[in-house]
């Protein structure tokens, strides 16, 4: 299985400031079609996960443009340009390049 490694495990943030989460995969997620099969999800307290970013950099419907995804191959980043209090939760990356899809261990974003 492809191993997904996220850092940091915990990210205290100040509202109004930027934040960044890293995700690394043990194998390349770049397909020959040019897409990186890497998604980002957030699980807010007491809720189901929700899709933020698909295929490395495509924002899902309704996701604010404060969120952006970048990277290729084995190194990916989720950036929040300006953190809001509602952004607290656990952020997961997930690879869909190879079966079975696998998730990173999660990054807990909390307000300082």
Partner 1 sequence: EVQLVQSGAEVKKPGESLKISCQTFGYSFNTYWIAWVRQLPGKGLEWMGIIHPRESHTRYNPSLEGQVTISADKSITTAYLHWRSLRTSDTAIYYCARGATGHDGFDIWGHGTMVTVSS
In the complex, the smallest distance separating the C-beta of residue 47 from partner 1, rounded to whole angstroms, is 8
Residues 6+ apart with CB under 8 A from 33: none
CA-wise closest residue to 40 among 12, 66, 1 = 66
Per-residue interface string for the shown chain with partner 1, residues 19-58, x marking contact by CB under 8 A: ------------------x-x-x-x----xxxx-xxx--x
Alpha carbon distance 107, 30 (integer Å)? 23
> Does 91 help bind partner 1 (rule: CB under 8 A)?
no
In the complex, the smallest distance separating the C-beta of residue 52 from partner 1, rounded to whole angstroms, is 9
Alpha carbon distance 86, 34 (integer Å)? 33
Residues 6+ apart with CB under 8 A from 73: 28, 29, 30, 36
Q: Which of 21, 42, 78, 96 binds partner 1 (CB under 8 A)?
A: 96
Nearer to partner 1, 31 or 82 (CB): 31
Q: Where do contacts with partner 1 occur on this chain (CB under 8 A)?
A: 1, 37, 39, 41, 43, 48-51, 53-55, 58, 60-61, 90, 92, 94, 96, 99-106
């Amino acid at each position: 299985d492809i191993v997904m490694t996220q850092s940091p495990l915990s990210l205290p943030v100040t509202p109004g400031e930027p934040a960044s989460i890293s995700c690394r995969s043990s194998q390349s997620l770049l397909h020959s079609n040019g897409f990186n099969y890497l998604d980002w999800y957030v699980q807010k307290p007491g809720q189901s996960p929700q899709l933020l970013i698909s295929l490395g950099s495509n924002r899902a419907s309704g996701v604010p443009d404060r969120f952006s995804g970048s990277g290729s191959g084995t190194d990916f980043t989720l950036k929040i340009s300006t953190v809001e209090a509602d952004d607290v939760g656990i952020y997961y990356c997930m690879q869909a390049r190879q079966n079975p899809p696998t998730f990173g261990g999660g990054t807990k974003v909390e307000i300082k």
